[in-house]
A and B are shown apart, each in its own frame.
Chain A
Amino acid sequence: MLLYVLKRLLTTIPVMAIVALFVFSLLYLAPGDPAAVIAGDQATTAEIEKIRQSLGLDRPFILRFFEWGWHILQGDLGQSLFVNMPVRSMIAERIEPTLSLLVVTLVLAIVIAVPMGVIAAWKAGTWVDRVIMAFGVFGFSVPVFVTAYLLAYVFALELDWLPVQGYTPLSSGIGPWFVNLVLPAIALGCVYIALIARTTRATMLEVLQQDYIRTARAKGLALPGILFIHALKNAAVPIVTVIGLGIALLIGGAVVTESVFAIPGLGRLTVDAILRRDYPVIQGVVLLFSFVFVLVNLLVDLIYTLVDPRIRY
């Protein structure tokens, strides 16, 4: 097992290296001359050249890539072009809201979607199944900001049940923190819930046809026990896979959700960075999210062995 974890960790290295190469090329290809930007409007060509040399911008691509990579490994993501701050501290400042949003969405989505899929599979062909599957199609088709605006309009503006916008840090209490995150999390989670529910239903349909399910029913086990213990455990691998892969959807959607609900997280940071063409910040965020995504999927591979003892490495 430990050997497998190490092996699996090793395989993520080339993947992350390719991500890093891509992200570095982004800065390399970015229009505009950082040296000229730093030198200011009044600078002469000689001065710009001097700054370029001092920054090492005149050296070959591959040399700069390895130097940049070495800094990244040490946790140095560079300096923002517009705010006089290292990218790392800018990200650190904004990470809590985004992380909170992602975690709450993830938990809510799993808690809602998995039972939905199980019930749809159990009641396959009935109106319950149809309603859930209709949601599965709609949830997948309605873009995140549409859901976000509709939810905010109905539950915050019209009914006034939940706050319209904003974010309360976790340090000021778990209640206010959660209340502020409910609407964004549901909006962001819709696509994800649809995806998980569809996959759960599909795999559960297959599992429910197995002999051991019939045996369990024949010996009189309670239905919830059969569905959620016997069947779900055997259907878990594809479900866990889709939960892991779907994180990419969540990360993309978080950028938009944060804009709609005015949450000061990494999504807002990304949007601001794009509008200002602050390449080091864009780089940092893309690199961080990709890293998280790769790690999550590594974790998914490890969870396989926990939910399904037949898988051994």
Chain B
Amino acid sequence: MARFGIGDQVLIQDRYTPAHHRVPRYVKGQRGEIERVCAAFGQPESLAAGGDGEPFQTLYRVRLKQTDLWSDYAGNPADSLEIEVFEHWLESAD
């Protein structure tokens, strides 16, 4: 069961793990909005080390504002970035 729904405000966790984890540094600690709830997939941290990926995690597409990501962003304030983030990297920011 997906914890978040479309439109929910979320915080991408700001933590580090040496495991393969598919969350780039530049979005850690950022707030965004759930754009889409994708399916559940195996955790990359486990799969990359030969594990079974359990427990599977729901994957979301999170929409972020460019002006939040980069303090010196010079483009249109409406410019956005969407990125896939697994549920175990997200917290509620409502």
Q: Do A and B bind?
A: no
